[in-house]
Chains A and B, each alone.
Chain A
Amino acid sequence: MEYLTTIGLEVHVQLRTASKMFCSCPHRYGAPPNSQTCPVCLGYPGVLPVPNRQAIEWTMLTGLMLGCRIARYSKFDRKSYFYPDMPKNYQISQYDLPLCEGGYVEVDLENGDTKKVGITRIHLEEDVAKSTHHSTTSAIDFNRAGTPLMEIVTEPDIAGPEEAYAFLTSLKQILTFGGVSDCNMEQGNIRCDANISIRPVGQDGLGVKTEIKNMNTFSGAQRALAYEVERQKEILNSGGRIEQETRRWDDVSGTTELMRSKEDAHDYRYFPDPDLMPMVVDEAWISRLTAEMPELPRTRKARFERQYGISPYDAGVLTADPELALFYEAAAAGSADAKAAANLVSNLLLHALAEAGMEIGSSPVRPEHITSLVNLVAEGTISSQIAKDVFAVVFETGRGPEEIVRERGLVQVQDTDQIRTWVRSVIEENPGPAADFRAGREKAIGRLVGAVMKASRGKANPQLVNEVLREELTRGGV
């Protein structure tokens, strides 16, 4: 039987504020357990939470970037539950009046189409403590408890695991461009849960859904969802029934396992937190945030294609990360050839960085190095082949390309007499290809050009080599 898959995601995003959501503790990743705590985030009696204005503003900014309506009136609620990862026995969250509602994320599909995945709501809450489970006890570290956490909930618009991955990637790009989160998956800055159901093609209503938790990477999410689709198919194909339940993804075994049957909202006994005052947002605030909104990844990609004449693929690579996009724009700014600059960055630089395990932020090659390499080639001072060698030296030493070219005598040979000397000896040493070319086999010249370039140790101007070779060959040889 053929099935349709329906997925909705809940994405949790830690905001990159200096302090926690309701207290002034820092929330640096990797600090010694419980060192980033205070009486407020440890839930001591008598303390009062005070919201972090920056976290509220970044949640609104995220809403604007995703085309949401920003609530003019919003509040925090208590969500009560019985795990020890929140010492108050409740988590401060938002129930019926979230900061943002509506909106969408545009996602590029594999077939080239673009799809809008609807956003239901974005609310702001506090992250919970990290639990480590041992044989009979659990160990709790409250450093993470109280970190500002946005929950972005999508409509059930996602038609499969690959689409979920594409959505998460697009969302992460927007959040990174907005500067609201570091979106570092290893550090748990962005995590997601999913609701997933399948139904036979032709059936109108959605099937029974399961909720999958504990997906800590985007590729893990894709694998977990693919696994769950198969699990549900097997149950339906063998005449079984899907139970509405929460399942935990185990990335090591690659399976989901039953965690608990579904709670309903009653279980959480939501009610407005009397410790916190409602939030009222006026037009002036929204207008200011709208004006400050950064250029979004898709808009920037389109502009790169237009402004720099680069391919959609290159534009996509260069706008995948805001720092990389800035780097490229700085490099292209003074370059005689923006396309060549794009090639250097997206091929040579990204490759070298990946090999060295480095990020663009710590690149030894600076944008101005790319600019001068491009210009050295454009002026004919060095060949593009030599440019690659110079690039490698710049990457290794962090020194400027002009300096390296001068010092190593890499300046391209434009001297026709010198080139003619190399050409003549190459023709003499390669009578076969020379004869082939004279007999009309145009392609044979390639081998001769290569040989001359080799003889010049890459320094001859390839265009001149080509011209001189043709002259010498048609003249009847030596």
Chain B
Amino acid sequence: MSERTANGMDIDYVAQLARIGLTPAERAKFQGQLEAILGAMRKLDELELEGIEPTAHAMPVHNVWREDRAREWDVKDAALRNAPARMQDSIQVPKIVDTSG
């Protein structure tokens, strides 16, 4: 396993979490790019942030929702036609029961 760099980026761990296989060239390229992003975020460390609440969104907007009303969309056949494989009215996928340790 690789180790975290000074910028706190373990590219192999991140790739594994995202289930992405990287070639050595990609590994070097993405490591550099992601570290640059983290580096940019570190600019925040230079600011005086005492008393500032963290936010969950970039826009100062909240409570956007809809009333509880249902309507039928009737897209089943279109959706099934778009699926890679179907089994009657269900979408068929490789077996996904996870019994591995």
Interface residues of A in 1-50 (CB under 8 A from B): 17-19, 24-26, 32-39, 42, 50
A140 and B91: CB pair below 8 A? yes
Q: How far is the CA of A260 from the CA of B96 in the complex (A)?
A: 13
- Asked if A75 and B72 make an inter-chain contact with CB atoms under 8 angstroms apart, the answer reads no
Q: Given that A51-B65, A133-B95, A139-B90 are contacting pairs, would A37 and B73 also be in contact in the complex, using a CB cutoff of 8 Å?
A: yes
Q: Chain B residues with Cβ under 8 A from A142's Cβ?
A: 79, 91
Cβ-defined contact, A26 with B96, below 8 A: no
Contact B95 A136 (CB under 8 A): yes
**Residue of A34, A42, A258, A280 with highest tally of chain B CB at under 10 A:** A34
Residue of A nearest to B85 (CB): A137
Known contacts A26-B70, A278-B62, A280-B62: A138-B75 contact under CB 8 Å = no
The answer to whether B70 touches A25 (Cβ under 8 A) is: yes
Given known contacts A134-B95, A261-B101, is B68 in contact with A18 (CB within 8 Å)? yes
The interface-forming segment of B1-9, B26-34, B41-49, B53-61 is B53-61
Instruction: Closest B residue to A272 by CB, please name it.
Output: B56
In the bound complex, how far is the Cα of B85 from the Cα of A139, in angstroms? 10
Taken residue by residue from 168 to 211, chain A's Cβ proximity to chain B (1 for < 8 Å, 0 otherwise) reads as: 00000000000000000000000000000000000000000000
Q: Which of A53-61, A356-364, A377-385, A396-404 contacts B (4 or more CB under 8 A)?
A: A53-61
Q: Is the CB of B64 within 8 A of A140?
A: no
Tell me, in angstroms, the Cα distance from A137 to B83 when the chains sit together: 14
The interface size of chain A toward B, counting residues with CB under 8 Å, comes to 56
Q: Which of B61, B68, B95 has the most CB of A within 10 A?
A: B68
Enumerate A120-149 residues with CB–CB distance to B below 8 Å: 131-142
Contact call A37/B68, Cβ cutoff below 8 A: no
User: B99 at the A/B interface (Cβ < 8 Å)?
Assistant: yes
Cα separation A259 to B62 with both chains bound (whole Å): 40
With A34-B76, A259-B99 in contact, do A18 and B69 touch (Cβ < 8 Å)?
yes
Count CB-based A-B contacts (< 8 Å): 142
Asked whether A258 lies within 8 Å of B94 as measured between CB atoms, the reply is: no
Mark out the residues of chain B between 79 and 101 whose CB falls within 8 Å of any chain A CB in the assembled complex: 79-80, 85, 87-101
* B-side contacts of A39, CB under 8 Å: 73, 75
Q: Is A277 in contact with chain B by the CB < 8 A criterion?
A: yes
**Cβ–Cβ contact B57 & A278, under 8 A:** yes
Contact partner of B68 (CB less than 8 A), chosen from A52, A257, A276, is A52
B68 neighbours in A (Cβ, 8 Å): 17-19, 52-55
- A141 CA to B79 CA, complexed, in Å: 11
CA distance A2 to B91 in the complex (A): 50
B17 CB-CB contact with A under 8 Å: yes
Partner of B63, one of A136, A267, A277: A277
* Interface contact B89-A32, CB-CB below 8 Å: yes
Shortest distance in angstroms between A301's beta carbon and chain B's nearest beta carbon?
31
8 contacts between A and B (CB under 8 A): A19-B69, A25-B73, A35-B76, A42-B75, A52-B68, A137-B87, A138-B93, A142-B91
Instruction: Show the binding face of B for A, using Cβ within 8 Å.
Output: 17-19, 55-59, 61-73, 75-76, 79-80, 85, 87-101
- 9 further A-B contacts with Cβ under 8 Å, apart from A25-B72, A52-B68, are A24-B70, A24-B71, A26-B70, A37-B73, A53-B68, A134-B95, A139-B92, A140-B92, A278-B62
